[in-house]
Amino acid sequence: MIEPTESEDILEMNRFIDAMIGIRSEIQEIIDGKQSIDGSPLRNAPHTIGAIAASNWDRSYSREAGAFPATITGLIPGELIGSRGKYWPTVGRIDGAFGDRNLVCSCAPIEAYSS
C-alpha cells in the first residue's frame, strides 16, 4: 500500500507507480536470464551525469536505459529535453553496508569542544 502525504498529487503518485513497475520489469529480465545481476541497470544505479556523458560506456544496456529507464510523461521519444523532474545524482552507488559496519567520524576531537 502506498500512503501519499498532502504534498503528493496524483501525477507524482502515478510516476512512483510507473517507476515501481519499471523496476519490476528489470527484475524480470534478470529472472528470465536476459540480463545478469551484476550487469543490470538496477545493480549499477544510480547513473550520474558523468557516467552517462562519458565517452566510454561498457554496460550491457543502452545509455538511454541508464539515464531514463522509463518513459516519462512529457518526454518526446528520442529527445532528452523535456524530461520533467529528472534528478541527476552526483555520486554512483555507495557501499552502504561497509559504511554501516565501519563508522568513521570526521568530527573534530572531543577536546576541541571543551573550551
pTM of the predicted model over 0.85: no
What pLDDT is stored for residue 82 in this prediction? 44
What pLDDT is stored for residue 28 in this prediction? 94
What pLDDT is stored for residue 55 in this prediction? 92
User: Measuring CA to CA, how many Å separate 49 from each of 2, 5, 8, 53, 96?
Assistant: 30, 30, 27, 6, 21
Q: Indicate the residue type of 4.
A: P
Task: Identify whether the C-beta of residue 42 lies closer than 8 Å to the C-beta of residue 26.
Answer: yes
Q: Which residues of the chain have pLDDT under 70?
A: 1-2, 4-5, 71-87, 95-96, 99, 115
